[in-house]
Amino acid sequence: MERASGDCALNAHLEELLHLRQIIAGLNKNILSLSRSDTYRDMVLLLRSVPGISTLTAMTLLTELCDISRFSSLDKLASYTGLIPDIKSSGDTEYTAGITYRRNPMLRAILIEASWVAVRKDPALMMAFHTFSLRMKKTAAIIHIARKLLNRIRFVLMNQKRYVPAVV
C-alpha cells in the first residue's frame, strides 16, 4: 500500500515536470520567433556578437532596457542593473558593503550568468577575471566582469556595431 501511494506521488510529479517543460519549450519558441521579428532582429544579432550573450539573454536585455540611450553614462546603466557598490555611511564614516540591493533583479542575474560564460570565451575578460581573482573571491570578481560585459553591451547598442574582441 505504501509503495502504491509513493508511486502515485512520483507519477504526479513527473507529469507536472513534463507539463512545465512543455510550457518552457513553448515560451522559448515564442521568444525565438520574436527575436527574428523586424523589431528585434538587428539588435539581437549585434548583441549575440558579445561573448556570453545568447538569444534569450539578448531578448531579456532588449526588453528590460528598452532604449539604451536613456542611460547617459555607464554608471547610470550599472546603477539600474545593480552592478554598483552599496555605500553605508554614518556621520563622517563611509564604507562599501558589497553590491547594492537596489537593482533590476532580472538584468543583474542574467548579466552575472552571461559573465561566467564570457570569461571562458573572451581572452581579455579571462585575463581580467584572473587578475581580480588573485585579490578577491571569484564570486566578487565576476561582478567586476559583469560590469565590463555591461560596458561592451552598451557600446554595441549605442554604436550599432558588432563586438570585436581585443587581441591579447
Q: Which of 125, 130, 107, 106 is nearest to 52 (CA)?
A: 125
Instruction: For the chain, give the mean pLDDT.
Output: 90
Selected residue with higher pLDDT from 103 and 133: 133
Q: Please compute the mean of the pLDDT values over residues 15-22 and round it to a whole number.
A: 97
Looking at residue 98, its pLDDT comes to 67
Q: Which residues are within 8 A (CB) of 97 and not within 5 positions of it... i.e. 6 or more apart?
A: 85, 86, 87, 88
Q: Please compute the mean of the pLDDT values over residues 86-94 and round it to a whole number.
A: 73
Give residue 2's pLDDT band: very low, low, confident or very high (50, 70, 90). low
Helix (H) or strand (E) holding 87: strand 85-90
Looking at residue 95, its pLDDT comes to 62
Looking at residue 97, its pLDDT comes to 65
State yes or no: pLDDT of 114 exceeds 60: yes
Looking at residue 165, its pLDDT comes to 82
Looking at residue 92, its pLDDT comes to 78
List pLDDT tens digits, range 52-88.
999 999 999 999 998 999 999 998 998 889 887 776 7
